[in-house]
Structures are given as structure tokens and as C-alpha cells.
Structure 1
Amino acid sequence: MPKLNGSCLCGAVSFEVVNAFDTMFLCSCDQCRQITGSAFASNLFIAADGFNWLSGADEVATYQLPARDISKSFCRVCGSGVPWASGDGMKMIVPAGSLRGEPEVVKKYRIFISEQPSWSSCLDQVEACEGLPP
């Protein structure tokens, strides 16, 4: 099966994953927006046996929100989001932005849209630029 590589921004942490993701969640809940600093978290889910750390697993730190099933793993060097294991260890959750290449995904969902802020609900109406605006 084809694989994708991924890493943190500085390259200290790298991994490979089978390019056959079960699910992608684009989550707009308050906690996901806070933990990512973005309009939504974009996470891919795959069976743990389809994932392999290539380097830097010892540079990965994880924050677990007490009393909630919300966590984030990140590179200790640059702070970039990196994959983490689900609570039961059966799945790996892979931040979509950490991958190089296009993921193949069976099902995609936008979730907790009731918590989506108005400034992010009409992004198709915001002027798009290939780089910085002129």
C-alpha cells in the first residue's frame, strides 16, 4: 500500500503512514479551536498498525485535557502538532497539516459546527491569494 510521510516543522519528528485513512474530522468545537489556534482541527484517523515513527518519537510531548477526550501531541523542539494514539491505542490520530502529500480518506465530517465562529463559516467568500496579498 502506498504511504505518506509527515513531520513537524523543524524535522525533529518524522513518521510514515499508510495512505488509507478511515475518517477525517474537521472539528470546530471550542476546545479544538483553542488547542490548534485555528478555525478547526483537521485530524485523520487510521489503525495504529498503519503508522510508524521514523525519528524523534522521544521529542513528542502530549497534553491531555483533564476530564475530556481531547489531547494534542507536539514536537518539543518547534511545537508543531504531530500524531498521537487514541485512548485505547487502536487508532492513530494524524494532524492533516503534518503530512506531505494528499491523504486518501474514506469518510470526511465537519463536526461541532454549532460552535463554529461566524468569521470561519464563510471562508469561500474571503479573497484567496496564492501568497501574501499585493
Structure 2
Amino acid sequence: MITGSCLCGAIRYEIANPLQFARNCHCSMCRKVTGAAFATWAYVEVSNFRWVQGEEQLGQYQSSPEVTRTFCKVCGSTMQYVAKQAYQDAFGLALGTIDGDPGCKPMRHVMVGSKASWFEITDHLPQSQEAAPSE
């Protein structure tokens, strides 16, 4: 069982199966929501995910017509990236909220066409100018 939580611990969750398709997103919205050079998301099937505590503490922000992002109303931790049409049975989970080993590592950088000018990608991971389909 994979467990995770927000910074303050008000929100906790469990995931029954290993995470997959982890990627570093460099789009301006992901940078702003995290305050970092990129956000690292892993895709979770809804059927494998369960809120253990604090689901009522989830705030929502619709960052575009197709995407809703969730966060902890107490501490502000970024939690989910929910794309309405692209992944109806899954969502992006902020990999930094996992308490231990998520069982996967980022497999690519996406949206590098809009990455922060002050950040240089120096690893070996493949890069996509736009969002890449799930591998």
C-alpha cells in the first residue's frame, strides 16, 4: 500500500497499486501551482485510490476549462491534477505528497517549450515540447 499526505497531515490517502507514467511538467500553470521549476505528477487510477482522512479539506481550482487542480485548504499543498476528458478513470497525483517510495520515477519532461528560462534540464530523461501521451 502506498500512502501519502499533504504538508500539515490534514489530508491522507492510500493507493492500492503502483503509480505509473510519472513526468515532470514544465508548463506555466504547473510552475505557478508549485512555485518550482516544474511539477512532478504520476497517474493514479481512481479505482486504486482512497482518501483516508480530510477529503473535506480539499480545495479546488479550475485552472483551464478541462483541468481542475486540488490542494489542501489548510496548508496549501498541491494534491491532484484532474483532466476531465483526457483521463476519465485516472488523475495526476503530486508525486511529492507520497510518504515513502512511490514505486516509480519520472520518465520524461513535458511542456519543455514553456519551461522556466532560469532552469536548465540536465538529466537524461526524454523531453517533449508539449504534453506527451501516456506511455
TM bucket (normalised to shorter chain) is: 0.7 to 0.9
Aligned to 2:77: 80
Alpha-carbon shift at residue 66 of structure 1 (Å): 3.5
Instruction: Name whichever structure is richer in strand by fraction.
Output: 1
How do 1:41-52 and structure 2 match up within 5 A? 41-52=39-50
2:53 paired residue among 48, 52, 55:
55
Aligned to 1:99: 98
Letter in 1 for 2:100: G
Aligned to 1:121: 120
Alpha-carbon shift at residue 13 of structure 1 (Å): 0.5
Q: Is the 8 A contact 2:26 2:37 kept in 1?
A: yes
SS at match of 1:105: coil
TM-score (norm. length: structure 1): 0.78
Aligned to 2:8: 10
More off after superposition, 83-92 vs 36-45: 83-92
Give ranges in structure 2 of 5+ residues lacking alignment.
124-135
Alpha-carbon shift at residue 106 of structure 1 (Å): 8.0
Instruction: Name whichever structure is richer in helix by fraction.
Output: 1
Letter in 1 for 2:78: G
Aligned residues: 121
1 CA distance for matches of 2:105 and 2:25?
17
More off after superposition, 7-16 vs 79-88: 79-88
Aligned to 1:112: 111
TM-score (norm. length: structure 2): 0.78
SS at match of 1:97: helix
2 CA distance for matches of 1:83 and 1:66?
14
2 CA distance for matches of 1:109 and 1:25?
5
2 CA distance for matches of 1:95 and 1:36?
10
2 CA distance for matches of 1:101 and 1:19?
14
Alpha-carbon shift at residue 84 of structure 1 (Å): 5.3
Alpha-carbon shift at residue 104 of structure 1 (Å): 1.9
Alpha-carbon shift at residue 30 of structure 1 (Å): 1.4
Larger Rg: 1
Alpha-carbon shift at residue 83 of structure 1 (Å): 3.2
Aligned to 2:128: none
